[in-house]
Amino acid sequence: MAKYIFVTGGVVSSIGKGISVASIGRLLKSRGLRVSIQKLDPYLNVDPGTMSPFQHGEVFVTEDGAETDLDLGHYERFIDENLSRLSNVTTGQIYSDVIQKERRGDYLGGTIQVIPHITNEIKARIASVAKQTAADVVIVEIGGTVGDIEGLPFLEAIRQMRRDVGRDNVLYIHVTLLPHIAATDELKTKPTQHSVTALRGFGINADVILCRADYPIPNGIREKVAFFSDVDVRAVIPVQTVETIYEVPLVLEEAGLGDYLVERLSLHQASPPELSEWRAMVQMIKQPKPTITVALVGKYVELHDAYMSVVESLRHASVHQETDIDIRWISSEDIEQDGPEPYLADVDGIVVPGGFGDRGVEGKIMAADYARQRRIPYLGLCLGMQCAVIAFARHVLRSREPNSTEFDEHTRHPVIDLMPDQRDIVDKGGTMRLGVYPCMLMPGTRTAAAYRAEVVMERHRHRFEFNNSYRAKLEEAGLIVSGQSARTVGWSR
């Protein structure tokens, strides 16, 4: 039987609960345990796919084509496992499924209520992760903070899980904030006390408390939290803000959390932790190195979470190349207004990530064209690739006409066009080309050299694509198509 760790948050949002969950997963996996992670999001949207990046941040796409919360990206990066659509559950999904069952008559005319119908559906989603993955431990993060009215059904469901699977198979972790009062130069425990009391009000007693703080946490503070929260002092884990998020697993390990979880959940199959490679990676991240500057030209740069996976990929690449990376956040609308020179003249590389709608697109196109003219390394992701094609086509055709039909339905040169199987789709949620697809690489290209493979599998999230009607003309002018969809060449697994 799988063991379950439920992680709740208190005091404030954006406290680092997702990183804490991912780090706990790394500690358990370092002990040879099979680990899977799930995020329960209380919002009524069926998924974040149609939500504004300014509200929700990045949409993380799983291999099986689910649009999910950005925390799943952290989970995958930390535990090195590909998660599935089962790993992100929203209130919208739960209610939609329950209502569909009621419409079909599955409940035999019964009155549908939050308890037991909604909570049963939540528990079924949690159990499905354990069943599909055969995990030794399933870690479940509950989004939001204790006391949020929309999160109450999730709290009730995880309370019931203790009874359903047995107390010895369930452990509750609560992540709270210890705010620092500058006037008295002290950390305050009262918000944590109130948060733990609120959690108790829903029938859940925390077994472990992770105390987030920007300053060192004295043992006296830990003892005070333990006393008022009725937990072992060992189970009050200090988590001070660190230089890199990848240091958090090491902080938790040094605080004894890994051993405590193994002990409390009777994980007898666990082996001693092996974190040597992780420690070496963190040491590499923190040591001084030559710095390169990469411009990230986007539409949502005011909220850095909108490009979370892009940024982490750049950081991973810089560690691999033994360099530090200075990411310069540039609004594509600023480039439209002032031109690219003031923003891009001294950068070592340019990354233009994805986006939707025509706002700021001309600035992205200008950034791509600037990179072409100055021979600055350029990486275009999704819309960024499409903008590079538009910029090159305008250069080749000596016209401002080339465009995407997303931005100009009547353009004379639609070098980027809607995918054929997207033309009749009306519903916007979950209907894009989503998930992992094979890509055939052209031998001898830089792309093939980077991947060291002929076929690669990459994840997609888009409706528009390169228009092959323009391929021959653009290739004659120097465009290199280094990878193409397997469906274009008739490849199959």
Q: What is the mean pLDDT of residues 163-176?
A: 96
Per-residue pLDDT tens over the stretch 298-336: 999 999 999 999 999 999 999 999 999 999 999 999 999
In this predicted structure, what is the pLDDT of residue 491?
46
Q: 32 and 136 in contact (C-beta within 8 Å)?
A: no
Q: 492 and 410 in contact (C-beta within 8 Å)?
A: no
Query: Sorting pLDDT into bands at 50, 70 and 90, what band is 85?
Result: very high
φ, ψ dihedrals at 125, nearest 5°: -65, -40
> Is pLDDT of 361 > 90?
yes
> Is pLDDT of 493 > 50?
no
Residue 426 C-alpha from the chain's centroid: 27
> Is pLDDT of 144 > 80?
yes
Cross-strand bridge partners of residue 294? 327, 349
Question: How far, CA to CA in Å, does 408 sit from each of 9, 396, 423?
Answer: 45, 19, 15
> Is pLDDT of 175 > 90?
yes
Q: What is the mean pLDDT of residues 407-414?
A: 94
Per-residue pLDDT tens over the stretch 383-395: 999 999 999 999 9
Percent of the chain past pLDDT 90, that is, above it, reads 89
Residues in contact with 174: Cβ distance below 8 Å, sequence separation at least 6, in sequence order: 7, 8, 9, 10, 146, 195, 196, 199, 206, 208, 209, 210
- How does 223-238 read in b/e, with b if 16+ C-beta sit within 10 Å? ebbbeebebeebbbbb
Query: Sorting pLDDT into bands at 50, 70 and 90, what band is 488?
Result: low
> Is pLDDT of 284 > 70?
yes
Count other Cβ atoms within 10 Å, centred on residue 76: 20
Does the CA dihedral 473-476-480-482 come out positive or negative? positive
More confident residue, 434 or 488: 434
> Is pLDDT of 279 > 80?
yes
In this predicted structure, what is the pLDDT of residue 431?
84
Q: What does pLDDT average to over the chain?
A: 94
* Structural domains in the chain plus CATH codes: 3-282 (3.40.50.300), 284-489 (3.40.50.880)
Per-residue pLDDT tens over the stretch 186-239: 999 999 999 999 999 999 999 999 999 999 999 999 999 999 999 999 999 999
Which among 394, 361, 388 is positioned nearest to 372, based on CA atoms?
388
φ, ψ dihedrals at 46, nearest 5°: -65, -35
Task: Tell me how far apart the alpha carbons of residues 379 and 368 are, in angstroms, rounded to a whole number.
Answer: 9
Which among 367, 334, 363 is positioned nearest to 350, based on CA atoms?
367
Per-residue pLDDT tens over the stretch 130-143: 999 999 999 999 99
Which among 464, 452, 477 is positioned nearest to 425, based on CA atoms?
464
